Amino acid sequence: MNHLRAWLRRLAGLVPTQQQEQEFSSELESHLQLHIDDNLRFGMTPEEARRNAILKLGGVEHTKQAHRGRRTLPLLETTLQDVCYALRQLRRSPGFTATAILMLALGIGASIAIFAFVDAALIKPLPYTDPTRLADVAERGAAFSRSNLSYLDFVDWQRLNKTFSSLDAYGGGGYLLSTPSGVEPVPAARVSDGFFRTLGVRPILGRDFYSGEDQPNAPATVILTYGTWQRRFGGRKDILNQTITLSGTPTTVIGVLPEDFQFAPRGSAEFWSTLHDHNNCEKRRSCHNLFAIGRLKDGVSFETAQADMAAIAKQLEIQYPGSNRDQGANIGRLSELIVGTIRPILLVLLAGACLLLIIACVNVASLLLVRSESRRREFAVREALGASPARLIRQFITEGLVLISAGTLAGLAAGTLAMRLLLSLISRDMLSSMPYLSRLSLNTHVLLFTAVIALLAAAIFSLTPVLRLPTTAMREALNEGDRSSAGTLWRRLGANLVVLELTIAVVLLVSAGLLGKSFYRLLHVELGFDPSHLSTTYVSLAANTYSTPAGLDVATNKDENIVRIARNIIDRVSALPGVASVGITSMLPVSGNGNTDWIRIVGHPFHGEHNEVNQRDVSADYLKTIHARLIRGRLFTDQEDSTRPKVAVINKAFAEKYFPGEDPIGEKYGNGDLKPESIREIVGIVDNIRESSLDEDIWPAEYTPFNQETDSYFAVVVRTSADEKSLLPALSAAIHQVDPRIGTLDEQTMLQRIDNSQTAYLHRSAAWLVGGFAALALLLGVIGLYGVIAYSVSQRTREIGVRMALGAQRATVYQLILREAGLLTAIGIAAGIVCALVAATLLRGLLFQIRTWDLSTLALVAIVLGIAALIASYIPAHRAASINPVEALRAE
Amino acid sequence: MGDKTDVWQGTLALMVLKTLESMGPLHGYGIARRIEQTSGDLLSLNYGTLYPALLRLEQEGAIASEWGLSENNRRAKFYSLTRTGRRLLHKETRSWEQTTAILARFLAPSEEA
């Protein structure tokens, strides 16, 4: 207690008060006076009395010092003095201080921001119970290594597997939610009954699905996400057991999911329902529309599960050769599925940010070194005045720490801003597929990371000047002539640091160049159609809205209804001002391979293999609207509907793969068993339209008449002579005029769609961010080079003066300085290119249509850096050449 | 600071407290003289060492200080014992007595032998 009190009072004593000092002085004075009085009384002379009193005290200054030491905490006090001194020093050279803090803030801020993303995406586990035991379960098709799971296969897998304690399926989907103001399309997911139990997620309100609630006879029930509950239903607790209408089906709300629930594969889903309403696809084993998640039994590895499921798939292949040929199993980690695509990009960015941080640290350290050189005499004087070497070193470290602290604080602020900025740049669609980013924050992980890099930087900063502060040599530094040796030493060290900086700058520049070029190539990939001036929207028709009058064949009538409504939509939209043509497709281009059909060519040998081709159901004018190039034959017409023979237009890849050296026009193909109703005739060939995402391969594709293969969910594509963006609202309005019960969603122009596609998005963000890092690295590296050369010139002023006095030309002086800079730059570029080649192989996964040793990129980087370095070293070289020899020699 | 000084500091503090208990409020010089006299001039005290000890006791709240006038009308800082100081003195006295008693027992047999 008493000790604590004493310590606190000593801590308070840190605030230096003149009063305390004076008070003790007068106390000592009175002490001496009392003693002198006594001594005088004993008969000493006044001088003797005073001398004796002081002697007995043990020295006035000594006593004061001891008292002072006890008054405060000496270590803390001197540290505070050092900090004050450091602040004063830094204030005296605001240019240096601002530069140093700015560089550190840049490096630290960039690292923090990127690390926060890494933390949110890669380090924090998924918000499920024991997430590392969760598996992503899918099929493996001939064309897709991870393909959708068919419902009937899923049921067999669930029944037969021995490695999962639970296995549950999920599928995407959407409903038309009936609201007082009409229908609204809402994203949804359909799952098997135990889905949430497998994840380990419990509704915060109401209940989970009962076991068996996903069977066809079960009543329709739905669980809401927290956001939907709040937004659409005002967070009312009485929503439970209420009935809402989803796509015309009355559905009971039974629960609400927790606020932090997320499931990235169906990130946007607002309504979670069961698979009780089997659609046509789920009734056929050959139709794949689901994925599954499984929780591994204790002690079972992912490899064992893979083997187990592969064996079951094999068994099913024998049992159902028609539908299951070549259909294997693909078991992976759920976390890999969720963050697998973003991981390499984040790691590349983190590496880039860390390299930038290193450059910033090296730069600031070298600035400190330069200062330590120019302050050698100051230190020598201070040592001569009695400062201990330890104290001098501590002073130096304190200066470094003050810089680091300021830099870290500024870096934290910059990092937080950068985090916000980066997050706001991510579109809403992208964010829904990366829900884990919602947890992005300045949390303990990030703060810990900040502390670690601050400590590392502090270590670098403290060590460099200390190494350069040979205290024994200090007294010598008082002799003015002695600077050449110290100067050379620093020049060598500084030169090494600059080479390191330039190397890193080259690595970042080359990476940025490769990524930028990949992105450029990606955006300029051959599309096979003209994406400009196209407005698009998806349209959803509620299946049972177009209900069947009694006595008619269900399928035909529904199809006819859809054909009729589609024709109405086309007519209505065509009448809009500025519209040139209108088309309908089941799936827009550049959205990805998939929605495939298995075909068999009539008259070709066939052994049951799955010939997978993209299938797109399109209206007669669709291919014309998007400006696809017809190579041979004809496009189909609006009259070719279910009453006419089935026809198809194929793409070039289809023709090349299945009709090598033959003319496909007039040939026929059908499904695997060539059922008569599946046979269609090829009437035309178009050039390859990029159905796949930008970086995927072109697959064979068939374009079949929408009027023969209807869908209740399709896209409308409009070519307009006016601005395609401003047409979008009119487009939706026109469709709603046809029937207010039609839902429209995802209205975008074609160019927006391509620009916002995940592939373009990831490549663009990687290219821009690494480009930004590279630009900063170039700037910092060049500043570093300038610093070293300028310092070298200032150290060699006298030498240059002598040379010039002896007749050296200005050109020779230029040469002298530029040669020094050129050598450093050349070494830096050479080392950088070697490192960049290694780095580029690590980048390979992010590159598109470009080799890791892209010569033009390497050459461009070398030229850019060379020119920048030349400019940076020209300034000091010019200064050296304009030295007046007389003044240089006269200067000390 | 070495251990020896610590022991010395501890005993010096005890002497100061005891002096203030028996003499009442006293200035630094008076305390120093009193300690010398009590020790029968066996203890030659460097008066300067007293002041850090006084400061420490004051920081710990064992003593309080106040400016006043000395017997021969000199301005001086007077130290007096506080309640905490009195408690501390008793505690320290007891522990010191214990220490000396133990040491005495240690030293006694060697004299006999």
Q: Give the one of A2, A66, A71 whose C-beta lies nearest to B61's C-beta.
A: A2
Which residue has 């296969």 as its token pair? A153
Please indicate, yes or no, if residue A186 is contained in any of the structural domains: yes
Token digits of residue A242:
């209420």
For B3-112, the fitting CATH number among 3.10.150.10, 1.10.10.10, 3.30.1180.10, 3.40.640.10 is 1.10.10.10
Q: What is the pLDDT of residue A482?
A: 46
Sorted by where each begins, the domain ranges of chain B are 3-112
Q: Are residues A287 and A411 in the same domain?
A: no
Kindly write down the DSSP assignment for every residue of A723-739, as one continuous string: -HHHHHHHHHHHHHHH-
Token digits of residue A451:
């502390």
Please indicate, yes or no, if residue A331 is contained in any of the structural domains: no
Please indicate, yes or no, if residue A857 is contained in any of the structural domains: yes
Give buried/exposed letters for A772-808 (b at 16+ CB in 10 A, else e): bbbebbbbbbbbbbbbbbbbbbebbbbebbebbeeeb
Please indicate, yes or no, if residue A490 is contained in any of the structural domains: no
Cβ separation B55–A70 shorter than 8 A: yes
Token digits of residue A222:
């739905």
Q: CB neighbours of A459 closer than 8 A, spacing ≥ 6? A: none
Q: What is the distance in angstroms between the Cα of B110 and the nearest Cα belonging to chain A? A: 38
Cβ separation B59–A5 shorter than 8 A: yes
Token digits of residue A569:
């939509």
Cβ separation A56–B74 shorter than 8 A: no
Helix axes A94-118, A389-425, angle to 10 degrees: 50
Q: What is the pLDDT of residue A431?
A: 79
Cβ separation B27–A69 shorter than 8 A: no
Amino acid identity of residue A273, one-letter, is S
Could you say which residues from 35 to 94 on chain B have a Cβ atom under 8 Å away from some Cβ of chain A?
46-49, 51-52, 55-56, 59-62, 70, 72, 74-77, 84, 88
A777 phi/psi in degrees, rounded to 5: -60, -40
> What's the angle, vertex CA A476, arms to CA A474 and CA A479, rounded to 5?
125
CB A155 within 8 A of CB A239: no
B23 phi/psi in degrees, rounded to 5: -100, -15
Helix axes B50-59, B3-23, angle to 10 degrees: 70
Q: What is the pLDDT of residue A413?
A: 94
CB B36 within 8 A of CB B45: yes
CB A664 within 8 A of CB A731: no
Please indicate, yes or no, if residue A749 is contained in any of the structural domains: no
**ipTM for the whole complex:** 0.85
Cβ separation A2–B62 shorter than 8 A: yes
Q: What is the pLDDT of residue A789?
A: 82
Please indicate, yes or no, if residue A579 is contained in any of the structural domains: yes
> Measured between beta carbons, which residues in chain A are less than 8 angstroms from residue B88?
2
Cβ separation A34–B49 shorter than 8 A: no
CB A482 within 8 A of CB A365: no
Token digits of residue A23:
């008070």
Q: Give the one of A37, A57, A71 whose C-beta lies nearest to B72's C-beta.
A: A37
CB B55 within 8 A of CB A20: no
Token digits of residue A510:
């080359």
CA quadruple A271, A276, A278, A282: dihedral positive or negative?
positive
- Distance CA(A203)–CA(A206), nearest Å, equals 6
Q: How are beta strands A182-191 and A271-274 bridged, if at all?
A: parallel
For residue A414, give its domain range. 79-127+342-482
Q: Are residues A178 and A300 in the same domain?
A: yes
Q: CB neighbours of A341 closer than 8 A, spacing ≥ 6? A: A758, A762
Q: Which helix (H) or strand (E) holds A752?
A: helix A750-756
Q: What beta strand segments (E) does A153-199 contain?
A: 164-179, 182-191
> Measured between beta carbons, which residues in chain A are less than 8 angstroms from residue B72?
34, 37
SS3 A25: helix
Token digits of residue A235:
């967070």
Number of domains in chain A: 5
As to burial, measured by CB atoms within 10 angstroms (0-12 exposed, 13-18 middle, 19+ buried), residue A612 is: buried
Please indicate, yes or no, if residue A134 is contained in any of the structural domains: no
Q: Are residues A853 and A730 in the same domain?
A: no
Name the DSSP class of A435: G
- Residue A20: closest CA among chain B residues belongs to which residue? B55
Question: What is the rounded end-to-end Cα distance, in angstroms, of chain B?
Answer: 38
Residue among A700, A782, A856 nearest A142 (CA): A700
> Measured between beta carbons, which residues in chain B are less than 8 angstroms from residue A2?
60-62, 84, 88
Q: Are residues A736 and A819 in the same domain?
A: no
Q: Give the one of B60, B77, B88 whose C-beta lies nearest to A5's C-beta.
A: B60
Whether B113 has a pLDDT exceeding 50, the answer reads no
Please indicate, yes or no, if residue A34 is contained in any of the structural domains: yes
Residue ranges in chain A whose pLDDT is less than 50: 471-475, 477-478, 480-484, 547-555
- Distance CA(A591)–CA(A693), nearest Å, equals 5
Q: What is the pLDDT of residue A891?
A: 60
- Distance CA(A777)–CA(A353), nearest Å, equals 10
SS3 A141: coil
- Distance CA(A891)–CA(B10), nearest Å, equals 62
* The total number of residues written for chain A in this structure: 892
- Distance CA(A615)–CA(A613), nearest Å, equals 6
Kindly write down the DSSP assignment for every residue of B10-24, as one continuous string: HHHHHHHHHHHHHH-
Cβ separation A58–B47 shorter than 8 A: yes
CB A18 within 8 A of CB B8: no
Encode A524-547 in three state secondary structure.
CCCCCCCCCCEEEEEEECCHHHCC
Report the residue of B12, B51, B67, B73 to disrupt the A interface, i.e. the one with the largest count of A CBs within 10 Å: B51
Cβ separation B60–A27 shorter than 8 A: no
Q: Are residues A212 and A361 in the same domain?
A: no
SS3 A778: helix
Residue among A378, A404, A549 nearest A463 (CA): A404
- Distance CA(A557)–CA(A713), nearest Å, equals 17
Amino acid identity of residue A696, one-letter, is E
> Measured between beta carbons, which residues in chain A are less than 8 angstroms from residue B47?
31, 35, 56-58
Cβ separation A66–B76 shorter than 8 A: no
Q: Are residues A387 and A309 in the same domain?
A: no
CB A147 within 8 A of CB A335: no
Q: Are residues A112 and A201 in the same domain?
A: no
Cβ separation B56–A62 shorter than 8 A: no
Cβ separation B60–A31 shorter than 8 A: no
Q: Are residues A362 and A452 in the same domain?
A: yes
Q: Are residues A449 and A312 in the same domain?
A: no
Token digits of residue A306:
């893979």
Q: What is the arithmetic mean of pLDDT over B32-49? A: 81
Q: What is the pLDDT of residue A464?
A: 66
Q: Are residues A234 and A319 in the same domain?
A: yes
Of A688, A708, A741, the position where a domain reaches its end is: A741
Cβ separation A34–B76 shorter than 8 A: yes
Q: What is the distance in angstroms between the Cα of A38 and the nearest Cα belonging to chain B? A: 10
Q: What is the distance in angstroms between the Cα of A399 and the nearest Cα belonging to chain B? A: 29
- Distance CA(A314)–CA(A328), nearest Å, equals 7
Q: CB neighbours (10 Å) of residue A378?
A: 12
Which residue has 């949804």 as its token pair? A188
Q: Are residues A558 and A641 in the same domain?
A: yes
Kindly write down the DSSP assignment for every residue of A823-872, as one continuous string: HHHHHHHHHHHHHHHHHHHHHGGG--S--TT-HHHHHHHHHHHHHHHHHH
Of A741, A765, A785, the position where a domain reaches its end is: A741
Whether B4 has a pLDDT exceeding 70, the answer reads no
- Distance CA(A457)–CA(A451), nearest Å, equals 10
CB A109 within 8 A of CB A414: yes
- Distance CA(A210)–CA(A214), nearest Å, equals 8
Q: Are residues A359 and A471 in the same domain?
A: yes
